[in-house]
Amino acid sequence: MRKNILITGASSGLGEGMARAFAAKGCSLALCARSTEKLARLQSELLANYPNIRVFVRSLDVCEYDDVFEVFRGFRDDLGSLDRVIVNAGMGSRSAIGSGDFPSNRKTVETNFVAALAQCEAAMEILKDQNEGHLVLMSSVSAVRGFRGSINVYAATKAAVASLAEGLQLDTLGSPIRVSCILPGYILTDINRDVENAPFRVDLETGVQALVKAIEKEKRRAYVPSWPWTPLSHVLRALPFRLYARAM
């Protein structure tokens, strides 16, 4: 069992939910996010509920790339090793391309992909030194094909994350290092709370339990929840463009 787990973006949403779920399994945690106040509250809660685990928290803006390396190394020193690193920090997009909101779309790209690259670099440095561990990249079912409008940029970043994960899987093939790409469907968080068209959306608790189950299986690629997103992913890929455009 992977006992020492680092989660980025751990102060809210899926990151916070996964922290609670892994703590309940007896895992020690390294949690980082921008909000130190939320992290401190979560740390206190987890230590009170699970006194046999260790929980370390550090402030981190994943777009401060040098800080990513410093924080990851610090957590490794805190815990002695990192058994699993979950690259979870991310944000949604809100503007269609050409709507005059390039700064917002650029921020989404930097947060969801460039910062994910920095986290992968920092994690792989540690896992290679240990010659052991599990790297988890959080993508999205929106990575399967392009999406229109305000989801376009978000979907593109998640497709890039999925491709990055597969490349790392090739790099680590045959080694003791595992790399997983997790592609959640609609799980109720602040990112999609206001999305009107959110088919098969599940509540946070259901989604988190499915995420943790998928992560612990350590498969190369997993859609969450598996039903209906695994079969739907094949359908989406196979749809001719005009039919796909009508469906979207």
CB of 58 within 8 A of CB of 9?
Answer: no
- With a cut of 80, say whether residue 198 has pLDDT above it: no
Q: List domains and CATH numbers for the chain.
A: 4-247 (3.40.50.720)
The pLDDT of residue 129 is above 90: yes
Is the pLDDT reported for residue 199 higher than 70?
yes
Q: Is the pLDDT of residue 107 over 90?
A: yes
* pLDDT over 70 (residue 194): no
* Measured distance CA(215)–CA(211) in Å, rounded: 6
Measured in whole angstroms, the distance separating CA 145 from the mean position of its chain's CA atoms is 19
Where residue 93 falls among pLDDT bands split at 50, 70, 90? confident
What pLDDT score does 192 carry? 58
Catalytically annotated residues: 154
Judge whether residue 196 has pLDDT over 70. Answer: no
The C-alpha torsion from 21 through 24 and 26 to 29, rounded to 10°, is 50
Residue 164 has pLDDT above 80, yes or no: yes
Residue 244: per-residue pLDDT: 87
Amino acid identity for residue 223 in this structure: Y
Q: pTM (2 decimals)? A: 0.95
* pLDDT(103) > 90: yes
How far is the C-alpha of 90 from the C-alpha of 143, rounded, in Å?
Answer: 14
